[in-house]
Amino acid sequence: MAVPLTADRLLTVLRNEGLRVVEHRSWRTHNRNHKGPWGPMHGVMIHHTVTSGTEGSVELCYNGHSSLPGPLCHGVIAKDGTVYLVGNGRANHAGSGDDDVLRAVITESALPADNEASTDGNRHFYGFECENLGDGKDPWPAAQLEAIEKVSAAICRAHGWTQRSVIGHKEWQPGKIDPLGFTMDSMRARIGERLAAAKPKPPKPPTYEPFPGAGFFAAGRRSAVITAMGKRLVAEGCGRYKVGPSPDWSEADRQSYAAFQRKLGYAGSDADGIPGKTSWDRLKVPNV
């Protein structure tokens, strides 16, 4: 039984898949859980918005409209591939669909024709609305198709599902046509290829130069560490350089570091411009 991903976990798996994700307003607590259960989860459902313009599409999916309150999905996939998260929990996106289709999704087998509307899909599917007019003419940019692939693969990977757990709204509910403009079979093939490939590695956390000791900062010292330190001091708005940081320890370095110490709240002899371990660790000089 697949427990729904928490907001933090959903955000993490999407970003780990290489997606640009925007957290829209109070998406983490925005849901329709008071209207029915949320979970267990069985799949991902893809839709198109029948709108143009990212900002308006995102707001519509967050707020909903008079006959269907929001959220209308969990995320909106824009033309440029950006994913806007708008809900976490039960959302008004799937409606009632075919129980035979749900069983096929659960067993990850071939989908039957959807000819019933007897089963609550909002309970069991993550829903993603893709910015598109849905007229068969509005283009699907490569970046957007890749984002649909990545979103689907990320959630499937998190739950241990295959690409057969990803369906279109038109495969779930009779009378629906979305998404229109590409086939779900072709999208599932892309998702399957991504899942078969090596799992993307999350970006490595930055590493910083360890404190070299106060004696390191003396006349005659020449080091790339001093240049890196100077660049960080400039970034902090504390640079007192006429030309720019260099590898040679100088009076400009000392004055710049003293300005950083004062920025941290030090005064008097504690802001003499000679780095100490506490202030050095706060400066976060990247490894050279």
DSSP 124-172: TEEEEEE----SS-S---HHHHHHHHHHHHHHHHHHT--GGGEEEGGGT
In this structure, how many other beta carbons lie within 10 angstroms of the beta carbon of residue 153?
26
On whether the pTM is more than 0.75, the answer is no
Q: Are 44 and 125 in contact (CB under 8 A)?
A: yes
Residue whose pair of structure tokens reads 């427990």 in the numeric block = 3
For residue 1, the model assigns a pLDDT of: 65
**Could you tell me the residue ranges of all domains in the chain?**
7-196, 214-283
81 SS3 class: coil
Give the Cα separation of 105 and 92 in Å (integer): 20
What is the mean pLDDT of each successive set of 10 residues along the chain, which is 288 residues long?
94 97 97 97 98 97 97 98 98 98 98 97 98 97 98 97 98 98 98 87 87 96 97 96 94 97 96 97 95
Instruction: Identify which of 157, 135, 174 has the alpha carbon closest to the alpha carbon of residue 126.
Output: 157
Looking at CATH, the fold of the domain delimited by 7-196 is given as Lysozyme-like (3.40.80)
Q: Are 89 and 5 in contact (CB under 8 A)?
A: no
DSSP classification of residue 286:
B
Question: How many residues are listed for the chain in this entry?
Answer: 288
Phi-psi region of 220 (alpha: psi -120 to 50; beta: other; left: phi over 0): left
For residue 244, the model assigns a pLDDT of: 87
Instruction: Identify which of 55, 118, 130, 129 has the alpha carbon closest to the alpha carbon of residue 91.
Output: 129
Give the Cα separation of 149 and 166 in Å (integer): 10
Instruction: Identify which of 187, 183, 178, 185 has the alpha carbon closest to the alpha carbon of residue 73.
Output: 178
The rounded Cα 31 to chain-centroid distance in angstroms is 19
Q: Are 190 and 78 in contact (CB under 8 A)?
A: no
As beta bridge partners, residue 68 has 65
Residue whose pair of structure tokens reads 């229109």 in the numeric block = 180
Give the Cα separation of 144 and 74 in Å (integer): 16
Q: Are 84 and 22 in contact (CB under 8 A)?
A: yes
For residue 43, the model assigns a pLDDT of: 98
Instruction: Identify which of 193, 120, 97 has the alpha carbon closest to the alpha carbon of residue 152.
Output: 193
Tens-place pLDDT, residues 143-169:
999 999 999 999 999 999 999 999 999
Tokens representing 2? 């697949």
DSSP classification of residue 25:
T
For residue 199, the model assigns a pLDDT of: 66
For residue 200, the model assigns a pLDDT of: 64
Tens-place pLDDT, residues 7-56:
999 999 999 999 999 999 999 999 999 999 999 999 999 999 999 999 99
Q: Are 27 and 62 in contact (CB under 8 A)?
A: yes
